Amino acid sequence: MKGMIFTEFLDLVEEKYGLEVVDEIIEKSDLKSNGAYTSVGVYDFTEMLQLLQHLSMHTKLSIDKLLLLYGEHFFSVLLKRYPDFISAYKDPITLLASIENHIHVEVLKLYPDAELPTFNILEQTETSIIMIYKSSRAMHYFGKGIMHKTFEHFGSTASVILETLNENGTEVKFIIQQIT
Ligand code: HEM
């Protein structure tokens, strides 16, 4: 997992809960990196899971809820770091429909070692889209958070329903309906 995902996560934890909580979740985890991340490095996904588990214990929020909040925050990171990827689109459905064939393709050109999910489209209309998310990392709630903010960015709202297709959440159906 790219270091940027760790550094932005720990920045958000510091902003919301303070530096003591950042130190606490790092200390309680058994991290090969010792919690020293650089945005260009690549680290084990299990490190992210441990940090999330300890933050979940501290905040009493579920890991899914924490991933949702992080995804919502992460959209602003994307907007700041990769404005051209977002401004290439005029509406949220087209943007989401392009994750697989454009956005994450460009991400892989920039970072060949990125580990990305797949989002395959089952159905698409002007105001709705159904996609199948697949990833061994089961970060579907992170995706849902990014999607909420994608709609908000275009002055719109949507219902995003997740249907897990297997027990560990590595395959999830996203049913997305634009409301306004
Ligand atoms: C400017 C546009 C985007 C950029 C630059 C971008 C970049 C990235 C990067 C660098 C990662 C981490 C890869 C790694 O750890 O190795 C990632 C992961 C991810 N991205 Fe994107 N992304 C973009 C848009 C989106 C959008 C619109 C979605 C929609 C939900 C999305 C969904 C995800 C998810 C769910 C992951 C977590 C990894 C996983 O589930 O396996 N991304 N993305």
Does the CB atom of residue 106 touch ligand 1 within 6 A? no
| pLDDT at residue number 9 | 98
Average pLDDT over residues 15-23: 98
Q: Which domain holds residue 101?
A: 86-178
Would 104 be classed as within a structural domain?
Answer: yes
CB-neighbour burial class of residue 179 (10 A; exposed 0-12, middle 13-18, buried 19+): exposed
Does the CB atom of residue 143 touch ligand 1 within 6 A? yes
What predicted TM-score, i.e. pTM, was given to this entire model? 0.96
Task: Provide φ and ψ at 18, rounded to 5°.
Answer: 95, 160
**43 to each of 8, 19, 35, 46, 92, how far by Cα in Å?**
14, 21, 10, 9, 31
- The closest alpha carbon to 143, from 70, 81, 88, 80, belongs to 70
Measure the CA–CA gap between 45 and 64, rounded to whole angstroms: 16
Residues 92 and 172 in one domain: yes
Q: Name which residue sits closest to atom 16 of ligand 1, judged by CA.
A: 114
| Per-residue model confidence as pLDDT tens digits over 93-109 | 999 999 999 999 999 99
Would 103 be classed as within a structural domain?
Answer: yes
Average pLDDT over residues 48-76: 98
- Average pLDDT over all residues of the chain: 98
Q: Name which residue sits closest to atom 25 of ligand 1, judged by CA.
A: 99
Residues 100 and 48 in one domain: no
